[in-house]
A and B are shown apart, each in its own frame.
Chain A
Amino acid sequence: MRREELDPHSDGLMADAGLVLPAGVAAGTEGERKSRFGDLSVGAWLAIGWMVFVILVAILAKTHIFTWGDPQAVHAECARKGPFAQDGSAPGRLFGCDSDGRDMVARLALGAWTSLLVSFGAIAFGFIVGGGLGLVAGYFSDKPSRPIAAVAGGVIGAAFGVVAFGVIGAVGLGLSDGLAAVIGGVGGLAAGGYFGYQRGDVDTLITNVFNVMLSVPAIVLALALVAFLQGSEAAGTKAILPDVLILILAIGIVAVPLVGRISRGSALTWSQRDFVLAARAQGAQHGRIMVREVLPNVAPAMFSISLLSIAIAIVAEGTLAILGVGVRPPAPSWGNIIALDRNALFTSPHIVFEASFLIFVTVLALNYLGDVVRARFDVRESGI
């Protein structure tokens, strides 16, 4: 969590994995080189195999190239039946049916698509926004960066200006809402931009934004975001976005500060290396150094974190579904399969536990792969 704990290790390790290294980083010697996949353990292969299997099933089910039947088709004779169910098993249907009589295999296959789409999408969002901000914060933490700090300070200042002067202007001075907001926004932009320019400390600004975001427990924040974004059907306020996108945004926003802090820590240590200084001395621009020199070194660490994050996002999707704000039916996801038939837990346990089992194995596989990648690149766990 603290910057000192994340230290980049020998360049040889990076070279071992066959990564493209930026100029200036010594490659490992010939003897140290290993093949990229040659020494993976059986467990790692099993985990990779499972992930390939799940992703393949999800894609096939979504694209109808190969389907396991219609996930919406109702087979009344099979309702609530399945392995270990009170009503007995369903002949010809390996995993049984849900309480409406829809085939579980078909629903789990398409559910894989929804769950994976949400979690990959959310983490992609978290990594692009949070990783990007963290990279900038870490890179500039020991360098003055007036223009960027001015922009960041201006944005934050404008937001606070609108709220602060909005209240003062509208309540205290009796101005109209719009006028107060505009004055506050412009004033805040100017003040924030000026202070940002003076201090030149973009790192502090971004880190503080992360800290404020982290001050609300993650699942509560995601819950509130989804609840408000989904609107209320009863009241006729249709959601503006499709459910999947809402979940991607909600989980993604929650991931931003978590990913951002790790990326900042990693970028910070790499930015203090001599090859960055060398690039700077050769006249390279900050943007170019960040993308070409720092990013490739931060990436392996972030890849490990991304695997662990996707696992967390899959669990988050399930959690939100159980809380009643997941992807709404009829589209199945692993989470809403559990949520829909949670009431049937004692009579038809197979419905809930089949989906739970898939979540468990997928999370296990991703955690394991995350550990394997981390061990390869020697990324410390401290940031998570």
Chain B
Amino acid sequence: MQNELLRLIARRLVQLAIVLIVVSFFTFALIRLLPGDPTQTIIPFGRGPFFEHARARLRSDLGLSKGFFAQYWDYLTKLVRLNFGHQYSSGRSVGTLVKQSLPVSLELMIYAQIISLAIAIPLGVLAAYRAGTRTDSVINTTAFGALALPNFVLALLLSFFVGAQLKWLPTGGYAPGWLDPIFNGSVHMDLGQHLRYMVLPAFSLAVGQIAVYMRLLRTDMIATLQENFITLAKAKGLSNARILWRHALRPSSITLLTAAGLSVGTLIGAAVVVEVIFTVPGMGLKIVQAINAREYVELQSYIVIIAVLFVLVNFLVDFLYAVVDPRIRRARAA
């Protein structure tokens, strides 16, 4: 067992290294392939000491005096030492920007996951328990509709109706929450305010996931409810609630948990657009601002960071399953 786990870890580390090289080289090459002097392309306007200073710093960030591969090597070694370069318009280091925006995105994704599981599990259990009835078909049809509702449409709808019309919740902005102090030291924190800002973005992210999770759980649960041990539980005279929640839910939830783990990638992507619509200052909003300002150094750092985080999360998910479920451990190591 130890051996299998080690093999799994080794494979993932190799994969992480390959991804790091491919993604970093890809983003690196794209910047260098822009025609002309990159410093003039990236900072096209402006004369005078301020702009010359910015260009000089950009030149040193990019290592332009050296050859192509030497530049890449510089870039890669800086990346490994977590030196991401500077935002040339302000001169701030990209590392600081990442520290500010990463916790915001993480919080948003955690809330979205909690909301979607908290809603999807009862609905899935109910739909399975009442499989084939009117309740089941109403839940299923709603889920089908929710799947066709793009995140940005839902975000716009919530922003308009709940935010602008009913004025229940703010339509944009952010207040620091519990994760920000961990990254940025002491920050003024108002948890109530923080949650008010996060409700609509988190719901916009969650609805699509609810539909996916609900359908998965329903399918597995229907299969579990056919098992002999459920019949036995019924014969013992246990209450329906006890059978559903204590006996049937746990064996039915493996696929659901796998999906929840793998959905982190989907959430990262969806979070980008939701953050933009609600102006939540997470990684997604930063990426879009970097694109609009043509902050290529900043942009390539974000892309590399997200790719690495994504691989790490997938690794973590795999690892947890391997620890939890011996069958998966054997299958994946093979």
Report A's interface with B, CB cutoff 8 A. Answer: 163, 166-167, 169-171, 176-177, 180-181, 211-212, 215-220, 223-224, 227-228, 231-232, 234-237, 311, 315, 318-319, 322-325, 338, 342, 345-346, 349, 352-353, 356, 359-360, 363-364, 367-368
Contacts and interface: CB of A to CB of B under 8 A. Distances in A.
A363 B67 contact: no
Given A311-B148, A346-B164, A166 B19 contact: no
Given A166-B68, A223-B272, A232-B44, 5 more contacts: A163-B25, A215-B19, A220-B268, A236-B44, A345-B159
B268 A217 contact: yes
What does DSSP make chain B's interface, helix, strand, loop or mixed? helix
19 contacts: A166-B69, A215-B19, A215-B23, A215-B310, A216-B306, A217-B269, A224-B27, A228-B31, A232-B294, A235-B294, A236-B44, A319-B150, A345-B164, A353-B156, A356-B156, A360-B149, A363-B148, A363-B150, A367-B147
B59 to A, nearest CB: 16
Contacts of A235: 36, 40-42, 44, 294
B69 A169 contact: yes
Given A322-B277, A324-B292, A364-B145, A219 B40 contact: no
Nearest to A320: B273
Contacts of A215: 15, 19, 23, 307, 310-311, 314
A319 B273 contact: yes
A367 B269 contact: no
Nearest to A371: B144
Interface residues of B, number: 61
A370 to B, nearest CB: 11
Nearest to B275: A323
Given A235-B42, A324-B292, A367-B148, A212 B269 contact: no
A336 to B, nearest CB: 13
A300 B43 CA distance: 51
A158 B13 CA distance: 22
Contact of A223 (B72, B73, B277, B291): B291
Contacts of A324: 288, 291-292
Contacts of B145: 364
A234 B44 contact: yes
A338 B154 CA distance: 13
Interface in B226-268: 265-266, 268
B45 interface: yes
Contacts of B42: 235
A212 B70 contact: no
B34 interface: yes
B300 to A, nearest CB: 8
A229 B14 CA distance: 30
B70 to A, nearest CB: 5
Nearest to B309: A217
B313 to A, nearest CB: 10
Contacts of A212: 15, 18-19, 22
Nearest to B72: A167
Contacts of A166: 68-69, 72
